[in-house]
Structure 1
């Protein structure tokens, strides 16, 4: 019985050490119209993640690339990324989210494929009965092109969520942080 317990403890210790190592995954796709390679590296111990992709169009050899890097820490998250299409146009972003005592603050910049630039400012805050969250995106002229405010409250076992969104005509919000849209 003692041997079985000792073997189990050694196996757990060895598996824990293996989990601390960075994990690299390479995916390739060879198709009739495009050949692509994606490399992801996740280092849980360091809190880093990166993803790089390259695609080559078969018809003319044009290259498209995409990269994404994220670092997590106790104080928050930073992320950056860029994408260049087959036409050579590039878009990019930088994002930082910092934890606070009651939530977070967020800031970032993005550049679109047409060269337009945007700035993000946001925050989220826990309240006694829920949370509030807001994001504002301004263009290079300082005009607000996107604004979203969310308030969620919990009372009597029910959650009420109020969302107010204002978007300038024709504006498609850039993805800051590479994550899901809020």
Structure 2
């Protein structure tokens, strides 16, 4: 019985040590039109995650890549990434989300594949009987998207109110 308990404790301690290390996963695919590799690294203790993907088109050898990184902070997290398409055009983003007393706030910016400059802001706050949330995106300083959600509970009923505005796209 003592040996069984000692063995169980040893396995538990060794397993805990293994989970504390960064976990790396790599997957590959090879299809009729493209092949690629994706590698992710997650370190829960450090609060980091990264993902890198590369795809090669077989018809002409063109390569598309995607890279994402996320870092936990004392007050939330930061995230960034880039993507390069088969045509060589690159887009990127940076994002930061911060915990607040009753929810969170977020800001971000990015560059589109054709050089467009984007910004993002968002927030969510708990109320006494629900929450309110808002997300807004702008291109070159002009708002192109805004969504506001209000959810409240009263007398066993849930009321949801959502308002979305979008700037019409040029076609």
Normalising by the smaller structure, the TM-score range is: over 0.9
84-93 or 151-160: which moved more? 151-160
Task: Specify the alignment match of 1:77 in structure 2.
Answer: 77
SS of the residue corresponding to residue 169 of structure 1 reads coil
The structure, 1 or 2, with the larger RCO (C-alpha pairs under 8 Å, 6+ apart) is: 1
65-74 or 45-54: which moved more? 65-74
Query: 1:74 deviation in Å?
Result: 3.7
Can you give the 5+ residue segments of structure 1 that lack an aligned partner in the other structure? 172-182
Task: Specify the alignment match of 2:142 in structure 1.
Answer: 143
Query: 1:144 deviation in Å?
Result: 1.1
Can you give the 5+ residue segments of structure 2 that lack an aligned partner in the other structure? none
Task: Specify the alignment match of 1:7 in structure 2.
Answer: 7
Task: Specify the alignment match of 2:63 in structure 1.
Answer: 63
SS of the residue corresponding to residue 168 of structure 2 reads coil
- The count of corresponding residues between Structure 1 and Structure 2 is 170
Alignment of 1:1-182 (within 5 A): 1-140=1-140, 142-170=141-169
Which 4+ residue blocks in structure 1 deviate beyond 4 angstroms? none
Give the root-mean-square deviation of aligned CA atoms: 1.4
Query: 1:87 deviation in Å?
Result: 0.7
Alpha-carbon distance in structure 2 between the residues aligned to 1:92 and 1:152 = 33
* Higher strand fraction (1 or 2): 2
How big is each residue's C-alpha offset from its partner over 1:22-57, in whole Å with a ceiling of 9 and x where there is no partner? 111111111221110111111111111111001111
SS of the residue corresponding to residue 159 of structure 1 reads strand
